[in-house]
Amino acid sequence: MGEHNMAFELRTLGKTSIKLTALGLGAWQFSQGQGLVGGFWPTLDDELIAHIVQEAWMGGIRWFDTAEIYGHGASERALSKALKTLQISSDEVMIATKWWPVGRTYRSLGASVPRRLQSLQGYPITLYQIHQPWALSSLKAQAEALIHLLREKLVYAAGVSNFSAPAMREMAHRLNDAGFPLASNQMRFNLLDRSIEKNGVLNEAENLGVAIIAYSPLQQGLLSGKFHQAGTHPTGFRRWSPYMSKKYLARTRPLIDLLGEMGQRYHKTAAQVSLNWILSAHPQMLAIPGATKPEQARQLADTLSFRLSEDEYQTLTNLSDKIISKSRK
Ligand SMILES: NC(=O)c1ccc[n+]([C@@H]2O[C@H](COP(=O)([O-])OP(=O)(O)OC[C@H]3O[C@@H](n4cnc5c(N)ncnc54)[C@H](OP(=O)(O)O)[C@@H]3O)[C@@H](O)[C@H]2O)c1
């Protein structure tokens, strides 16, 4: 399988003992049209999802990121069904899922675990993440709930998502005091959104030994260049995103052109080069692109088979700097 030719070593999940492929596959796309955010992506049937998971697996990807809010468990169910169909056993794969805190207290953080495990149909929770910093309870109460889950071995590791530097620090210290590391903070990061480099999250994560898991690493498909082609438009919710405006597409075109040119040297696509940039940017970072087609998943996994040179990495960083600073004006 692909993992033997990987240009990127397995990465450690923060200060845990968990080793992961540098890329996981995001499973928001498997929400099957259900729930609050499930309508963002088209509804994919079980057979198609199994095919997507298979391509990711064949390419060496060994972990998947899902969440309670992705269709109230629909994504967890579809993912685990696909893994079962492919006869992938629970000791070969790792699953990260998330608790949705909006309008809820720390009590539901623990109470949600049996439902997550039921949706995952026998696959354990390797990483349990607090999806947003918006719970009705204090960080102290949420940390205590996580510590209980870790002590009882109901989850292997605990993480957060969309946490600011101070909130991440507090959570890390509270878990550390009980003898557990905060494994990760899942944050948006890509060539067009590098806010975590500026707002203290990345520095603080490095100081604390908390892994950053980069979500929306393709800026929801924009970095593949497909929306820069004449006649192609995003459908669904992405239609209204400022990232998909004509003005922004024009501003980012030089980056898409550069990604395409660099890709030619390796016979890779713009999407693969932009993901490769993330993995080269920070040696501890993990990324979780999503896919709605098997071919996309194949390509995403194949990102692990090559490595940009230092010069190429720097050239992309410089152009990204330019575009981001122009967008701030
Ligand atoms: N923690 C959080 O708050 C949070 C927020 C967002 C996402 N996430 C996680 O991060 C994962 C990924 O983020 P995301 O879904 O927002 O965005 P993304 O990974 O940046 O973009 C995914 C989309 O890019 C397109 N794509 C993928 N591979 C491609 C390829 N090889 N060529 C061309 N286009 C390609 C597909 O679009 P089409 O479907 O249009 O073809 C795909 O659905 C999610 O699945 C989820 O697990 C977490």
Q: How do residues 235-247 score in pLDDT, each as one tens digit?
A: 778 888 888 899 9
Identify the pLDDT of residue 39: 80
- Please name the fold of domain 18-224+270-306: TIM Barrel (3.20.20)
Query: 303 alpha carbon to ligand 1 midpoint, in Å?
Result: 15
Residue 1, pLDDT above cutoff 50? no
Alpha-helical segments (H) within the chain: 46-58, 74-85, 107-119, 139-151, 165-177, 195-198, 201-208, 246-266, 270-281, 294-302, 310-328
The residues lining ligand 1, judged by C-beta closer than 6 Å to any ligand atom, are: 26-29, 65, 131, 161-162, 186, 215-221, 224, 226, 271, 288-292, 296, 299-300
Query: 239 alpha carbon to ligand 1 midpoint, in Å?
Result: 15
Query: 289 alpha carbon to ligand 1 midpoint, in Å?
Result: 5
How far, in Å, CA of 161 to CA of 171, rounded?
11
Query: 59 alpha carbon to ligand 1 midpoint, in Å?
Result: 17
Mean pLDDT of 111-134: 98
Place 112 in a pLDDT band, splitting at 50, 70 and 90: very high
Residue 5, pLDDT above cutoff 80? no
Query: 182 alpha carbon to ligand 1 midpoint, in Å?
Result: 25
Q: Whose CA is nearest to atom 14 of ligand 1?
A: 216
Identify the pLDDT of residue 136: 98
Mean pLDDT of 301-318: 96
Residue 3, pLDDT above cutoff 70? no
Please report the atom of ligand 1 found closest to the CA of residue 129.
Answer: 1
Pocket test for ligand 1, best of 41, 192, 216, 299 (most atoms within 8 A of CB): 216
Burial bucket for residue 103 (CB in 10 Å: 0-12, 13-18, 19+): exposed
Please report the atom of ligand 1 found closest to the CA of residue 131.
Answer: 1
Pocket test for ligand 1, best of 218, 273, 274, 298 (most atoms within 8 A of CB): 218
Pocket test for ligand 1, best of 23, 212, 296, 299 (most atoms within 8 A of CB): 296
How far, in Å, CA of 31 to CA of 35, rounded?
8
Residue 4, pLDDT above cutoff 70? no
Kindly state the tokens that stand for 100: 């949705």
pTM comes to 0.97
Kindly state the tokens that stand for 67: 């969440």
Q: Whose CA is nearest to atom 30 of ligand 1?
A: 296
Residue 300, pLDDT above cutoff 60? yes
Burial bucket for residue 97 (CB in 10 Å: 0-12, 13-18, 19+): buried
Identify the pLDDT of residue 205: 98
Place 329 in a pLDDT band, splitting at 50, 70 and 90: low
Q: What is the pLDDT of residues 209-228, one digit of tens each?
A: 999 999 999 999 999 999 99
Query: 176 alpha carbon to ligand 1 midpoint, in Å?
Result: 32
* Portion of the chain with pLDDT greater than 70, in percent: 98
